[in-house]
Structures are given as C-alpha cells and as structure tokens.
Amino acid sequence: MPSPKRIRVQVGPMIVADTTKALVFQESDHLPVYYFPMSDVREEFLLPSRTKTEDPFKGVATHYSLNTGITLVEDGAWRYLDPVKGC
C-alpha cells in the first residue's frame, strides 16, 4: 500500500533515499518494510552483495550494502529484479 509519509534513509551523514512514493508492507511478525522507487534512491551508494534471499510471495531478492565512503551497512538494502507476478 502507498505510504502517506515522506520516507528518508540516512546512512551516517548521507541521505541515500528520499521519497514520497514509497510502498509500505506490513507482514506478520515483522516491522513494516518500505520499498522505494529506484528513481528516488542514490544508486552510487549501493554496493552489490553476494547475498540473495527468496520469498515465495515476492521472488528472489538481490541484496546491496550501503557504502557512503564514511559508513558501510552490510546487506542494508535489497530489490526484486524479477518479482512474482501480482506482487
């Protein structure tokens, strides 16, 4: 569902994502997860990771570490390059 809020991701002093178009997913036993349009993510801070995870409802997630040059967050972001139809 679309989030009614502006959502920002800050890693150290750097803003790595900033959007008013996030989607928020609430799954049982988890905190809400926000998904950002890639156009609102500063891709220069995404460092591809070897980590991949699979969710039967969403598909295979490709993970990224967030590297601002000052702060590194291992596997701090992910995306579904080929999401399950209807996801």
Q: Give the domain CATH number at 61.
A: 2.170.150.40
Domain range for 51 is 7-80
User: Is position 86 within any domain?
Assistant: no
User: Is position 87 within any domain?
Assistant: no
Sheet of strand 46-55, all strands in order from the earlier edge strand to the far edge: 46-55, 59-67, 72-80
CA atoms within 13 A on the CB side of 3: 19
Which pLDDT score, from 0 to 100, does residue 30 have?
Answer: 87
User: Is position 29 within any domain?
Assistant: yes
User: Is position 85 within any domain?
Assistant: no
User: Is position 42 within any domain?
Assistant: yes
87 has a pLDDT exceeding 80: no
Total tally of structural domains belonging to the chain: 1
Q: What is the pLDDT of residues 14-48, one digit of tens each?
A: 999 999 999 999 888 889 999 999 999 999 999 99
Which pLDDT score, from 0 to 100, does residue 29 have?
Answer: 87
Segment 67-73 shows an average pLDDT of 96
Question: Structure tokens of 57?
Answer: 């409802």
User: Is position 40 within any domain?
Assistant: yes
Pair 54, 62: CB distance under 8 Å: no
